[in-house]
Every structure is written in C-alpha cells, then in structure tokens.
C-alpha cells in the first residue's frame, strides 16, 4: 500500500501554484450536462473525486475529452440514461450534484446516495426539501435517491441549515424550472458563486449568489460556454499553514486573496506575517506561534475544511487554544494520531482544547479523511524525525500532486510502496 514518508524539520520556502477548486469543479462539471451544447472548462484539478465524477458522467453518455491536464471539453447531448449507479460514485459526496443537474434538465434522476469523507452525519434533507418545493417527487430506497417531476415550478425556499451542497443543488434545478425561485439562508461560499457564474455563462438567470438570498429566474434552455474554475481556497490555505508550522516562507500563487481572508487573519493572529498581492499571498513565519481560539463557520467564517490544519499549528503554539467545530460533528478523528506525535489535545464534544507543545515527533500515522490527512502531513513536516502516513488515497481525493508541490518547497516527502522505494527515500534524505 502506498504511503507518504516524510522527514520533518525543514522550513518550507518558495512558491507554489494553486489549482482549480475541487468543490467548485465538481458541481460545475455536473452542471455541464444541463446543456446539449459543448462546454469547455479550464482549471479543472486532476484529483480523484473529479475523475470519479467524470467517469460516472461518461457512463451515462457524456462525451468527455481532456485537452491537456486541466481543460475538459464535454458534450452531453446524448444522455439517455437517467440512472447513475457507478460503483465508485457512491464514494464521493458530490454525486448528489448530478441529481440537481439532471432533475433540472431532464426532470428525472436516479443516483446512488452520496458517501464522501466520514466527518459526521451528512444529511441531505435540505436538498430533498428544495427539490420537493420545486414540484419534484423524491424517494429513497435501496441506496438510491430517485426524483422525477412533470415540470419544475419556481418556489420560495428557506434553508433550515446553511448548506453548500443543498444551495448549489437547488440553484441548478431551479435554473431550468418555470418561473422564479428564491433561496433564503443560502450558503455564500466562493464555490457557490462560481457555480452561479458558470450557469449564468450558459444563459441561466441567477442573482445574489454570494449573499444569503439567491434569486433565480428559470430558463428553458442553457447553451455552451468556455469557463475557468476559481482557485482552490482550501488548497491555498493548506500551503499557507504549511509555511506557519515549518517556520517557512511560502508564496501561494494564482489565488483570490479575498477568499483567504479568514485564513490570513488567523495566521496573523498566531504570529505569522501575511502579505497579499493581486493574485498571490506570502506567508512568513519567523517567530514562535501564539495561541488562539477558533470556531468554524460557513463562509466568510473560518472554514471547517481548514480546521485540522489550524489545530496542527495551534498544537505547536505557546499557551492554550480552543478550536470549536460547528459544521460537522466528527471532525476531530485525527487528534489521536496527532497525540501520537506528541500533541497535547483533549477533545470534548465539538471542542478541542489544545495545550501547545514545543515540537512534534515523527510517527507511523494514518489519514482518517481528506483534510485531516493533509493536516497530518503538515504535522509530519514540522516534526522531528521520520513519519509514515497511511491511507493517502484520502489526500489524493482533493490535492493534486500534494507531495510534489511540497517537495518543490523543500519538503522531504515521497510516496513509497515497499522497501525499494523506501531505500531511495533514505538515500535522498541522507
Ligand atoms: C461541502 O460539503 C464540501 N464538499 C465539504 O468539503 C465542506 O466541508 C462543506 O461543504 C462545508 O463547507 C463538497 O463540496 C463536495 P454542507 P456539503 O451541506 O455540501 C448539514 C472537503 O474536505 N446539512 O454545507 O456536504 C450537514 O450535516 C469536503 O473538501 C443538513 O443538515 O456540506 C453539515 O452539518 C468535506 N442537511 C452542514 O449542514 C442537508 O441537507 C453543512 O453541510 C445538508 C447539510
């Protein structure tokens, strides 16, 4: 089995290019089936979740061509099969975006229920509430969600919880409903805005994305487009924290600094220097890290997808910090692994109480999910000695070339599978 071997203790220094946002790419690719015309999408990250979705879409009839590593051309005029039960699709959460897209275009969708990272209960009641409000019948059975409508009719929908997935899914279906839809208490994440911009570039009429009220006037047809996906806020944030925990100096390039504000603010609060330019952010950490309190919140709050990374940093700070996870109830599973590296963290319910330590030490550890896996890599990069991280497939779901980009910043990290690879790593690291 593949694992990362990491020799920690080297400050990361240099520049790293950030790719397209996974959590924008997934709904945008799914939404591409809503037009019979050809769609070109640029800045598509080459990560597992995206590739699983593309494969499932090709199985129901989308013609998909890669023009280079990050540009995808799709034509979905030949979709006849409304049933998505690809073996792998249930492993990714974003399978549910095919429901909103197919329901909007074809008024019929049957999709295997979503899986994804095991970070707590991941209900889809708000998606279902929205589809029903638009006039669709929805049922769940045998692991599938089935939905059908004679026609979709715009509606006034109040979301009981702020949900990225439900906001996007309802927005997609409502784009091709008759009349007006208003989504209240909508999610405001940059990827919600990106999906709205993509759909508008196909002829949809969506206003207010990025605020908590989204207004949609349905259209009967969407057309082709050429669209570029926004940079990945969480990938960028992860490298920014890599600079912090290794006492490095890293410039993340090709980002939208506005999307990184909550991350930059926390880094400054804990003692890092953060310099923003038009499309890059430089993080320099030359002194000790300071403690802080953090609560994850929907955008523009501090992202839940950055919670493990900031916990790793606070674990190395002076004093006591408190991290409260308010989005998912099971997102501290990595703390046991971090404890094995020397961290002093106690989890009580949705709160982690962190007493900072001077250093982590390398250990054999295992990634419990995508972001926690990336955070454990950061811990290993900061640690004294060697770490071996298992279950790296989780990380490959959402980070393109993670170890290669880190190595480009001076990290001693390699994917190894067996003794021979390991010997090469030992030669490389002396
Ligand atoms: C998206 O998940 C992301 N996934 C997650 O990223 C991210 O952590 C999350 O948004 C929050 O930002 C994708 O985009 C594929 P939600 P999603 O619906 O849409 C509750 C990563 O690491 N809820 O905003 O599933 C839910 O239980 C992943 O890249 C309901 O109660 O998240 C949670 O507590 C992990 N009913 C909260 O809302 C619903 O119908 C937010 O979930 C839907 C959600």
Q: Which residues does the chain have with pLDDT short of 70?
A: 115-121, 430
Are 195 and 67 in the same domain?
yes
Give 244 Cα–ligand 1 centroid separation in angstroms.
27
199: CATH: 3.65.10.10
H/E segment holding residue 17:
strand 13-17
DSSP 96: G
DSSP 209: B
Are 219 and 298 in the same domain?
no
Peptide bond into 300 cis (omega under 30): yes
Domain that holds residue 190: 22-228
pLDDT of residue 116: 54
Are 246 and 128 in the same domain?
no
CA separation for the pair 83, 158 (Å, rounded): 29
Give 163 Cα–ligand 1 centroid separation in angstroms.
6
Are 13 and 57 in the same domain?
no
- If one counts the domains in the chain, the total is 2
H/E segment holding residue 428:
helix 419-429
pLDDT digits (tens, 9 = 90+) for 29-43: 999 999 999 999 999
Write down which residue in 228, 251, 271 finishes a domain.
228
Give 102 Cα–ligand 1 centroid separation in angstroms.
20
pLDDT of residue 430: 67
**Spatial CB neighbours of 318, under 8 Å, sequence gap ≥ 6:** 288, 289, 290, 291, 356
In terms of phi and psi (left: phi > 0; alpha: psi -120 to 50; beta: otherwise), the region of 401 is left
Identify which of 100, 159, 163 to mutate to test ligand 1's pocket (most ligand atoms within 8 A of the CB).
163
CA separation for the pair 387, 152 (Å, rounded): 53
The dihedral built from the CA positions of residue 55, 61, 66 and 70, taken in this order, carries a sign that is negative
Residue of 117, 272, 280, 285 with catalytic role: 117
CA separation for the pair 397, 50 (Å, rounded): 8
Of 214, 157, 162, the C-alpha closest to 187 is 162
pLDDT of residue 121: 61
pLDDT of residue 115: 62
pLDDT of residue 118: 64
Residue located via tokens 């994804």: 116
Nearest-CA residue for atom 38 of ligand 1: 163
Of 163, 182, 198, the C-alpha closest to 34 is 198
Residues with CB under 6 A from ligand 1: 23, 26, 93-94, 117, 119, 121-127, 161, 163-166, 187, 304-305, 327-328, 370-371, 398
Give 30 Cα–ligand 1 centroid separation in angstroms.
17
Nearest-CA residue for atom 25 of ligand 1: 165
CA separation for the pair 327, 296 (Å, rounded): 7
**Spatial CB neighbours of 79, under 8 Å, sequence gap ≥ 6:** 33, 60, 61, 62, 106
The first and second tokens of residue 188, run together, are 């405001």
The first and second tokens of residue 349, run together, are 């319910």
Write down which residue in 228, 262, 294 finishes a domain.
228
Identify which of 131, 161, 297, 393 to mutate to test ligand 1's pocket (most ligand atoms within 8 A of the CB).
161
Atom in ligand 1 nearest the alpha carbon of residue 125:
40
Identify which of 91, 185, 327 to mutate to test ligand 1's pocket (most ligand atoms within 8 A of the CB).
327
Are 247 and 348 in the same domain?
yes
Are 15 and 26 in the same domain?
no
Are the CB atoms for 140 and 124 separated by under 8 Å? no
Is-catalytic flag, 202? no
pLDDT digits (tens, 9 = 90+) for 233-244: 999 999 999 999
Give 125 Cα–ligand 1 centroid separation in angstroms.
12
pLDDT of residue 1: 84
Are 276 and 196 in the same domain?
no
Write down which residue in 228, 262, 283 finishes a domain.
228
DSSP 137-153: EEEEETTEEEEE-S--B
Are 47 and 181 in the same domain?
yes
Are 224 and 343 in the same domain?
no
Helices assigned H by DSSP within 189-272: 190-201, 233-246, 261-269
Are 250 and 376 in the same domain?
yes
Are 289 and 190 in the same domain?
no
CA separation for the pair 407, 265 (Å, rounded): 27
Are the CB atoms for 333 and 350 separated by under 8 Å? no
The dihedral built from the CA positions of residue 263, 265, 269 and 274, taken in this order, carries a sign that is positive
pTM above 0.85, yes or no: yes
Of 255, 235, 279, the C-alpha closest to 402 is 235
Are 127 and 189 in the same domain?
yes
Atom in ligand 1 nearest the alpha carbon of residue 164:
24
């Amino acid at each position: 089995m593949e694992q990362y071997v990491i020799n920690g203790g080297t400050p990361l220094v240099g520049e790293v290019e950030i790719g397209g946002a996974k959590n924008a790419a997934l709904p945008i690719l799914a939404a591409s089936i809503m037009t019979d015309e050809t769609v070109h999408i640029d800045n598509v990250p080459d990560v597992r979740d995206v590739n699983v979705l593309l494969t499932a879409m090709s199985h129901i009839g989308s013609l998909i061509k890669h023009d280079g590593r990050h540009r995808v051309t799709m034509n979905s005029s030949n979709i006849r099969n409304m049933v998505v039960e690809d073996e792998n699709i249930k492993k990714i959460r974003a399978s549910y975006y095919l429901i909103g897209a197919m329901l909007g275009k074809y008024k019929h969708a049957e999709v295997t229920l979503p899986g994804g990272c095991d970070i707590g209960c991941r209900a889809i009641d708000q998606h279902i509430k929205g589809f029903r409000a638009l006039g669709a019948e929805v049922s769940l059975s045998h692991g599938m969600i089935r939905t059908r409508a004679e026609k979709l009719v715009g509606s006034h929908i109040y979301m009981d919880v702020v949900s990225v997935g439900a906001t996007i899914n309802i927005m997609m279906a409502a784009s091709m409903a008759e009349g007006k839809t208003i989504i209240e208490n909508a999610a405001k994440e940059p990827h919600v805005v990106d999906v709205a911009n993509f759909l508008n570039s196909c002829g949809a009429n969506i206003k207010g994305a990025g605020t908590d009220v989204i207004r949609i006037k349905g259209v009967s047809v969407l057309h082709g487009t050429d669209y570029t996906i926004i940079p990945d806020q969480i990938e960028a944030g992860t490298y920014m924290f890599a600079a912090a925990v290794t006492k490095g100096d890293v410039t993340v390039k090709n980002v939208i600094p506005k999307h990184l504000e909550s991350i930059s603010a926390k880094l400054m609060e804990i003692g890092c220097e953060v310099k923003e330019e038009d499309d890059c952010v430089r993080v320099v950490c030359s002194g000790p890290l300071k403690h802080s309190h953090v609560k994850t919140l929907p955008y523009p709050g501090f992202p839940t997808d950055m919670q493990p990374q900031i916990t790793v940093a606070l674990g190395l700070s002076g004093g006591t910090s408190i991290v409260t996870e308010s989005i998912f109830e099971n997102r501290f599973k990595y703390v046991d692994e971090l404890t094995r590296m020397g961290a002093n963290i106690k989890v009580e319910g949705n709160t982690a109480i962190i007493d900072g330590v001077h250093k982590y030490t390398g250990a054999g550890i295992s990634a419990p999910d995508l972001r926690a896996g990336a955070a454990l890599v950061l811990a290993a990069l900061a640690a004294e000695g060697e770490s071996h991280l298992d279950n790296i497939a989780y990380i490959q779901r959402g980070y393109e070339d993670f170890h290669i980009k880190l190595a480009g910043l001076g990290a001693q990290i390699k994917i190894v599978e067996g003794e021979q690879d390991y010997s090469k790593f030992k030669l490389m690291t002396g």
